[in-house]
Structure 1
Amino acid sequence: MNSAPNIEEARDEAQGIAVGSSFYAAMRILPRAQRDAMFQVYSFCRQVDDIADSDGPRDERLEALQQWREDIDALYAGNPPARVQSYAASIAQFGMRREDFIAVIDGMEMDVPADIRAPDEATLDLYCDRVASAVGRLSVKIFGLPDDDGILLAHHLGRALQLTNILRDIDEDADIGRLYLPRELLFHAGITSSDPDTVIASPAVPKVAAPLVKRARAHYDKADEIMSRNRRSTVKAPRIMSKYYRKILELLVERGFALPRDPVRLGRASKIAILLQYGIV
């Protein structure tokens, strides 16, 4: 039987997963207890996401996600399995909710029975809430935001980040058979297919992307408004994440959404500039 990992092992594992991600710089500026908790949340999200994105049989992926649900339930019941045992101290310290861990699993599972293709607007919003805003609800507990503003920030920033991901990854998602552009916007642009390869080749993709860009910007603006009324030290990590991803969104707009769509990445100099501007209190 594997022994339960101690906090140092959990930290090293989570940090190893997080290095190179867009969230790493924002997490590393946090005090140690907050940083450890964020690495645990990130590690959890990566592990369930890897299950959903694997090419294994769908029934095995569903079973693996169900095991994660059972492990989270056991954790909150006071009998945590080894792989989540190190979460207990962070949950006790920061008050992260079981429902938000479960929501993340539910969101990852939305891609498993069948790949998401042109969801309706309501399904897309539910997906964004589960895979992004639920992560935000866990995170704002760690950051120490008041409950009301924390929930609002998670709602808006989570959706802003996820819509940016969707716009950035249109072609990459299509390569694995997925299409997150909502069907209502596709129809409005004159695209009647839900086949990913057909859709991404359409010259009408920019018309589909435009309202999603507008929506993401509105969420970023609302997130900025919420963060502006909270202590700078409390919101420095989510502010850095927001600025990273908003810059990516603007680079996408500058590039355009017509073919060819070259990959967009935030350069090292831009990352350092954002970190220096918003990471120093």
Structure 2
Amino acid sequence: MTRPADPVLEKISPAAHASRVVRQSGTSFFWAMRLLPAERRQAMYAVYAFCREVDDIVDSPGEPAEKLRALERWREEIDLLYRGQPEWLTSRALLEPVDQFDLPQEEFQAIIDGMEIDAAPRVRIRSVDGLLDYCRKVAGAVGMLSIRVFGMPQKPGPRIAVALGNALQLTNILRDVKSDAARNRLYIPSEVLQKYSVDERSLSRIIVHPSFAGACLELSRLARRYYLETEWLLKGLRRGLMRPAVIMMETYQETLNLLDTRGWKKIADPVSLKSWRKVWLALRHGLF
């Protein structure tokens, strides 16, 4: 299981550590973060490094109890961060951004709440409301931190964070149905599966059920509604503020387009956006 980098053992600054995490991750958000001014970019690198490290905890091999203990250590570390005494490289990289951009502690804790759901030996979601609550924790909370760093106005900012977070996370869920199933995770709600008469008793049967495609398509349509809401909310914002969010949105929208084009009866066929396409999206929005 991945452990936070130890500043005593690594001769690297907290900021350099966060930058390295981003560079090595291959994240789709890289180009969106690159376009930010230096201080805001470094703050987003630190936020991303935190998200990456807690996500690696739940996706690494290990017992659920071990993962929950590691997440609890992160809760304690976040408490130390907000007392001005962080111990780990990533939390030390967050120290200045937390103060400079007034990043809310509860959003970091919400992300950990979401990771605890993922750390369970079996993940099932009962309702669409439950799914959106999960999205709020693992994606909306990241958005709530990001809008502070981007400098978005407080009136539309939180709505953008939640709407875009829902859209991105629903796209992730649809992209990763097969790999999540291999970890005994299914995020498509039971109430949606029941609507399409999909038998829920066996996960291996769920994802090959003839009607499972209909359930996936319903979530795809829900994601598109949140993309449309995000587009509408972004229209009134100054171009410089909206660029990172627009690049994130368009990158994931194109991924959803690829998934819809592939079809929902072919979930075994992987889909990913080419690197050159991500670069082109960044160029289109004036990265250079």
TM range (shorter): over 0.9
Could you say which residue in structure 1 is the equivalent of 2:242?
235
The question of 1:110 aligning with 2:117 is answered yes
Give distance in 2, aligned partners of 1:260 and 1:27.
30
Query: Which of these residues, 11, 26, 29, is aligned with residue 23 of structure 1?
Result: 29
CA offsets per residue over residues 148-185 of structure 1, 9 Å max, x none?
A: 21100111000000000111111111112111111111
Could you say which residue in structure 2 is the equivalent of 1:145?
152
TM-score normalised per structure 2:
0.91
Shift, 1:7, TM fit: 4.0
Letter in 1 for 2:78: I
The question of 1:165 aligning with 2:198 is answered no
Could you say which residue in structure 2 is the equivalent of 1:215?
222
Shift, 1:230, TM fit: 0.6
Shift, 1:87, TM fit: 1.1
Shift, 1:143, TM fit: 0.3
Unaligned segments of structure 2, at least 5 residues: 1-5
TM-score normalised per structure 1:
0.94
Shift, 1:53, TM fit: 1.6
Query: Which of these residues, 33, 38, 41, is aligned with residue 39 of structure 2?
Result: 33
SS at match of 1:147: coil
Unaligned segments of structure 1, at least 5 residues: none
Letter in 1 for 2:87: P
Could you say which residue in structure 2 is the equivalent of 1:257?
264
Calculate percent identity across the aligned residue pairs. 38
Residues 198/207 of structure 1: CA separation in 2 closer, same or farther (3 Å cut): same
Q: Which runs of 4+ in 1 moved over 4 A?
A: none
The question of 1:277 aligning with 2:288 is answered no
Could you say which residue in structure 2 is the equivalent of 1:185?
192
Shift, 1:118, TM fit: 4.2
Letter in 1 for 2:142: V
Letter in 2 for 1:166: I
Residues 30/2 of structure 1: CA separation in 2 closer, same or farther (3 Å cut): closer
Shift, 1:235, TM fit: 1.1
The question of 1:62 aligning with 2:68 is answered yes
Shift, 1:260, TM fit: 5.8
Letter in 2 for 1:45: C
Give distance in 2, aligned partners of 1:197 and 1:279.
45
What is the root-mean-square deviation of aligned Cα atoms in Å?
1.8
Shift, 1:202, TM fit: 0.6
In the comparison of the two structures, how many residue pairs are matched? 280
Alignment of 1:38-57 (within 5 A): 38-57=44-63
